[in-house]
Amino acid sequence: MELIEAIDNIKEPFTNAVLTIGNFDGVHIGHQALFHEVIEKAESIGGAAVAMTFDPHPIRVLTRNGYPPLITLHEQKVELIARSGIDVLISVPFTREFASISARAFLEDLLIRRIGMKAVVVGEDYTFGRNREGNLSFLQAHSDRLGYEVIVSKWIQSADILGDRISSTRIRELVRNGEMKKARKMLGRNYQIRGAVEQGRDRGGKLLGCPTANIGLQDELAPKPGVYAVKVECKGTKYKGVANIGYSPTFDDHIFTVEVHILDFCDDIYGEKIRVDFIDRIRDEEKFSGLAELSEQIQKDIRHAREILSD
């Protein structure tokens, strides 16, 4: 997949470009179905399958507070879109200046002249341009004059979760509630966080006999506090593990942490980037009477995680 990280880097229009546009946070199975439609249409007209996304998320630029955490950081989003089979991903640096472009200029100058769009695949509620003045009706009204086809992609319902429309908003709710199996059904993969291993409070190994890797989250969504069975990728190798997310109430220090104990692993990985896939939630965080009771519970959690991860 070709990655273009600024509009000015588009040297010439693509041949028969078939385009979809969105934030694609999560790159869930609804997004994947959209990409599949784009690829199929591009193949039918001998064109390029193109996706356009934005970084940072527009809400983060246009709203001072209250924006949602990300399901996928930009790096992971690019990887997942590349895996879908899209030919070209245009990642537009989103600014207030870009947000001020009118729908007409966005369509005519960017999509038609710059990209060479011959077909666009969008959802029924798609909007674009300054103050969201562009929508599906706008695209359809100008399609004959500008020579492109509008393909409307239907929302996908989850077959396993009755009545649930697959959306980034719904996935955030599931992850916040610790419902990792349901989130996996909508994502088409396990929910993942990734980051560099940081220096923690150095008590997992010394005090509890269970060393942990501490990950500092950036803007991504944190699952509900508690203990999880996880799979960990480090230096290209995959391991089983147990993650604790929350505030470590037994120590009463009120500091939010993500701590991962990698099973059967003892390497020094400070500074290494790791990826943590959340498989299932084991229990809530609890406050224990002391280190002995906490250490005993950790060993139970490890046994429970091994059972879950043996499937």
Q: Per-domain residue ranges for the chain?
A: 2-153, 190-309
Q: Write out the H or E segment, with its range, that includes residue 121.
A: strand 117-123
Angle at Cα 16 formed by Cα 11 and Cα 21, nearest 5°?
A: 75
pLDDT at 288: 77
Burial of 307 (0-12, 13-18, 19+ CB in 10 A): exposed
Mean pLDDT, 10 residues at a time, the chain of 311 residues:
95 97 95 96 98 92 81 95 98 94 97 98 91 94 97 75 76 96 95 89 52 85 96 95 85 79 88 95 86 86 95 69
pLDDT at 205: 46
Report how far residue 138's alpha carbon sits from residue 244's, in angstroms, rounded to the nearest whole number: 49
Residues 257 and 200 sit within 8 Å (Cβ to Cβ)? yes
Closest C-alpha among 119, 265, 104, 111 to residue 197: 265
CATH architecture of the domain covering 2-153: 3-Layer(aba) Sandwich (3.40)
Q: At what angle do helices 29-44 and 180-187 cross, to 10 degrees?
A: 10
pLDDT at 201: 58
Burial of 12 (0-12, 13-18, 19+ CB in 10 A): exposed
pLDDT at 135: 95
pLDDT at 207: 46
Report how far residue 30's alpha carbon sits from residue 214's, in angstroms, rounded to the nearest whole number: 32
Residues 48 and 86 sit within 8 Å (Cβ to Cβ)? no
CATH no. of 190-309? 2.40.30.30
Q: At what angle do helices 74-84 and 29-44 cross, to 10 degrees?
A: 40
Q: Cα 145 to the chain's mean position, in Å?
A: 37
- 16 sits in the region (left: phi over 0; alpha: psi -120 to 50; else beta) called left
Could you tell me how many residues make up the chain? 311
Closest C-alpha among 164, 148, 168, 147 to residue 156: 164
Residues 155 and 124 sit within 8 Å (Cβ to Cβ)? yes
| Residue 222 CA neighbour count, 13 Å, CB half | 19
Closest C-alpha among 109, 120, 75, 143 to residue 7: 109
**Cross-strand pairs, 193:** 276
What is the 8-class DSSP label of residue 151?
E
pTM: 0.90
Report how far residue 85's alpha carbon sits from residue 33's, in angstroms, rounded to the nearest whole number: 11
